[in-house]
Every structure is written in C-alpha cells, then in structure tokens.
Amino acid sequence: MCVPVLIVGAGPTGLMLAVELARRGVEFRIIDRHAAPLGWDRATVVKARTLEIADMLGLAGAFLEKGQRVDCVDLYAGGDRVAQMGFADLDTSFPYMLSLPESDTEAILTAELERCGGAVERGIELTALDAAAEGCRACLRVGSGADETMEIVEADWVVGTDGLHSTVRHAVGDAFEGHDNPRLWGVVDGYLDGWKHPGHHIAANLVAPCANPIPLKDGRWRVYFRPQSRDVGELERVVASLGEMSPGVRLADPDEPKFFHTYARVAAMFRVGRVMVAGDAAHACSPIQGHGMNSGIQDAHNLGWKLALVVAGHAPERLLDSYEIERKPADRFMVDSSDKAENASVRQDPAEREQMIAYLADPANNRRAAEDNNEMSHSYADSPIVGEGGGLRLADAPLVAPPGKTRVYEILRDGAHHLFLLGGAANSATIAQPHARHVNVHCVATEPDGVAIGEPQGSLWARLADVVLVRPDGYIACAGRGEAGLAAARHVLVATFGEGA
C-alpha cells in the first residue's frame, strides 16, 4: 500500500504531528512498536509554550484539568532558599508551568487524534527503510511470535519520532552528534509527609545529594535525584536531600525508583530528502530543565503545517527546508542549556553556584531565564519564510474585533495563515486575489488610544506594526506598516507557497 506520510513512533512528538495532519485532512499512518503505551515516563513538566500550542488546538482545558499548576522554581543550598525563578511576569496566558506526567500528555493527544479520525497502530515495528528521491519504502514487522507478519509500505514522506535510538535516523545514516552523560539520574514518585513548602512550587536542592521534587495533582510528588548507583538504598540519600530543604520530611509510599542515563546530542540533519526526524530522534538532553518532551512537541507543531501544505500540493517541497533551519538552532539551544546545567550539578562549584544566584537576583535576568526555561524566547528571524519584523512567537491577546472571536489564539485554531490589519491600515481588498486561499484577513478595530488589543500583550502589536502576518504555529511571519507591510506579507507568502501563491 502507499500512504502520503508514515510517522514512526507514537510518543508526544509523533502524536502531535499526527494531530496536526489529521485536523488538516492529510492521510497518514502512525505506528509504534509497543503494543501499549509505556507504563512509566520521565517527562513531567509542561512548559508555558507547550500550553500555548495546546490552546491553539483547543486542548488547553484538558491539560489544565489533569495537571498541577507550578508558579515558580525555588532553589535551595545549605537548607536555605537562595533563589527563585518565577513565571508571573511572563507575557502569556499561561504564566506558569504545568506538572503533568508524560502518560497523561499522551492520553490527551491520543484522544484528540481519535476525535479527528486518526488512530495509532501498535505492535508494528519499522525494521528497514529505503529512501529515494521519489519516495520511501518501509519494511514493517507486525505482531510478534507465531502471529508475526511482515508488511511493505510505500510512503511519500517518513517522519521518525521514534526516540533516542531512532531506527529512522539510523536508516538514513544521520549522525547523532554530541556526547553521553556518565552520571546516573533517578526518579521516584511518592508522598512527602511534612513538606513545609508550597504545593505549587518546584524545589531543587543545588547541593549534593541533589533532589528535585515536583508536585503532582493527586498529592504525590515526583522526585528527580542524582544517585551514586542503581541501589534502592539510594532513597535514603534522597530523603536526606529533601530534609535539608524541609527538615523532618518523610518520603511515604514510594514506588520503585527508576534509573537512567542522559545525553546531549543533536542530529546532524533534521531532513534527509523525504525523511525527517523530530523529538528525541532529533535531539536528546538532560531532564534537568525539562526541555525534552516540550521541544519535541514544538518540532511537530512546526513541521505539521508545512508537511500538510506540501502533501496537499499547496506549497513546494523546499518549504520543508525551513523545518531544520528553524528548529535545529532552537533545539541546539535547549540541549546546550541543559548540558550546562547538568555539568554545573555534577561539578558542585560554590563560585559557579553563587554566580547563578546573583544572576537570578536581577529581575530582568530572572524574567529572561523564565522565558528561556519556558521556550518562549527563540526567534525564527533567519528563516527563508520569515520577513521583516517577523520571527518571534506572538503571545495571545484579547481582540476588539473581528466579531465572534475574543482572542488571537482562538482565531489561529483553524490552522491557516492570518493577516491582521489594525485600525484601518488597509482593507482586505488590497490583498492580491492569488493569496486569498492561503490567508484569512482580519480588519481589527482600534480603541481610542490606538491600541488594538489589550495589555500586556497588546503593547507588542502597538510597537510592531499595523500589518501583521501570523503563521499557523503562532509565530509572526512579518510585520510592517501600510503598503510596505502588505508588500512584505506578499513576499513571505510567495516564499512559503511558491510563485503561484
């Protein structure tokens, strides 16, 4: 059989990509070698940017219902709280992070995929992949034991979201550049009886033996720690570290701790012809800052709308080049940031610790760190499909108009490009007809003071322009004023959709 897109791997990244394709009517298959979702996971923190993506899909409510809101991260040393990274000042509708086990994130995305008419095919493993210029040929093992069969699938495009040891990445000879981290990590779930600190704060002991308790919604805590071995007796050291932050605390009813190694690696290429990699197949980092799953979801959200346009014949294949150009630097930043924090945790250098504490004491630095931690600050300004004034994510904001929509992210839920014309800067008739099928145009009213949308996010628009082109992923494609702004928008649309756009 032949399928336009084959997605290999049904973790959060693969599921997000499948949802993006399904809601755009693109035919695909998503397979996973596991017969059922994994029984345990490592990812816990959902960043503000991921919640924004969920909002653009209409899923934010499902995430918030299942997750525990986290308002800040408290850092401890010598038993004292020495620094705090807060999220209240973030320019977002979600000025916090969410504590949510990865299994719950997968369940939410799986339910949305099924609502859109898709489904994960489980117990199917990719064993070989032959990628050519005209398409791909995948060999799949279906079932196991006496029920095992083999299937050959022709696919126009293959996306590997199959994790650290990606079969897809290996099949195309894509190098996984970087290094392995020798120190172990451990994670255990349990109750913290006698915990004296707020239940909506993450805590981190910077001094060995390090421990990082994260609250879960059911009253338990997920504690990440740095063990010396895989011995269950390591839990005594965990309790000792927790006790430095909250004397007398007790770890009650713990489950069996899990131990794992981490990595700092990025794929040499995110696209090799008709094959792409995303999520852990494209990058792997320490969990110390919680970037892995969130970066993968952003990969899929970035790739999904582009792949859908190419498959539908609405955009040339070169549009997919922008996936690596945009996402690889962002993912590299996350991997490098996590590696720096990982190394600092291992070195236990008091001078280095004091430098970090001093940095976070400055409000401007604290906000910058919170933005980076929540994956909100990266720019795509160097992308070939971004024009003047573009590249940054657009925060959600209340709108005065158009009628029937109250927020920007509500408008973005249709998955299209949107051109916002503020305060009569121009009208929709000025957009050349060939662009009309790709862009929804909104003439947005302004209030008497000239600001079209409410604070604090509205100030961004007031500074930018009165002509703002926004991509399906919520990033600004370009921004300008008057006819120059409209000309910039037309240029970006041609770069995105081709000369026939």
User: Please, are residues 375 and 47 in contact by the beta-carbon 8 Å criterion?
Assistant: yes
User: Which residues are CB-contacts of 266 (< 8 A; sequence separation ≥ 6)?
Assistant: 176, 177, 178, 282, 283, 328, 331, 332, 335
Residue with tokens 């994130």: 105
Residue with tokens 């949510």: 100
Residues 414 and 298 in one domain: no
- Cis ω on the peptide bond leading into residue 209 (within 30° of 0)? yes
Other CB atoms within 10 A of residue 275 CB: 23
Residues 110 and 219 in one domain: no
Burial classification of residue 409, based on how many CB atoms lie within 10 Å of its CB (0-12 exposed, 13-18 middle, 19 or more buried): buried
Residues 281 and 333 in one domain: yes
Residues 184 and 280 in one domain: no
Domain membership of residue 20 as a residue range? 2-41+101-175+268-347
pLDDT recorded at residue 482: 84
Give all strands (DSSP E) within 254-398, no chain letters.
Answer: 258-267, 271-272, 275-277, 283-284
In three-state secondary structure terms, 179 is strand
Among 406, 398, 417, 400, CA closest to 474:
417
Other CB atoms within 10 A of residue 362 CB: 11
Residues 128 and 195 in one domain: no
Among 451, 470, 458, 489, CA closest to 411:
470
Residues 336 and 220 in one domain: no
Q: What is the mean pLDDT of each run of 10 residues along the chain (501 residues)?
A: 94 98 97 87 90 97 97 94 95 95 96 98 97 94 88 97 97 97 92 95 92 94 90 86 95 92 96 98 94 97 98 96 98 96 91 95 96 95 96 83 69 92 60 67 61 42 73 95 88 89 55
- Cis ω on the peptide bond leading into residue 456 (within 30° of 0)? yes
Q: Residue 223 — φ and ψ, nearest 5°?
A: -110, 115
For 158-179, b/e burial (b = at least 16 CB within 10 A) is: bbbbbbeebbbbebbebebebe
Q: In this structure, is residue 63 part of a structural domain?
A: no
Q: In this structure, is residue 96 part of a structural domain?
A: no
User: Please, are residues 92 and 98 in contact by the beta-carbon 8 Å criterion?
Assistant: no
Q: In this structure, is residue 359 part of a structural domain?
A: no
Other CB atoms within 10 A of residue 435 CB: 17
Residues 201 and 278 in one domain: no
pTM more than 0.85: yes
pLDDT recorded at residue 400: 57
Q: In this structure, is residue 72 part of a structural domain?
A: no
Q: Which of the listed residues 204, 232, 261 is the one where a domain comes to its end?
A: 261
Q: Which of the listed residues 347, 365, 383 is the one where a domain comes to its end?
A: 347
**Rg from Cα positions in the chain:** 23
Return the structure tokens found at 26: 């693109």
Instruction: Give the total residue count for the chain.
Output: 501
User: Please, are residues 346 and 391 in contact by the beta-carbon 8 Å criterion?
Assistant: no
Residues 147 and 281 in one domain: yes
User: Which residues are CB-contacts of 124 (< 8 A; sequence separation ≥ 6)?
Assistant: 31, 32, 33, 140, 141, 142, 151
pLDDT recorded at residue 497: 94
User: Which residues are CB-contacts of 134 (< 8 A; sequence separation ≥ 6)?
Assistant: none
* Tally of domains in the chain: 3
User: Which residues are CB-contacts of 413 (< 8 A; sequence separation ≥ 6)?
Assistant: 56, 57, 58
pLDDT recorded at residue 423: 67
Residues 309 and 208 in one domain: no
Q: In this structure, is residue 376 part of a structural domain?
A: no
For the chain, the first-to-last Cα distance in angstroms comes to 32
Residues 160 and 277 in one domain: yes
User: Please, are residues 183 and 348 in contact by the beta-carbon 8 Å criterion?
Assistant: no
| Amino acid in position 500 | G
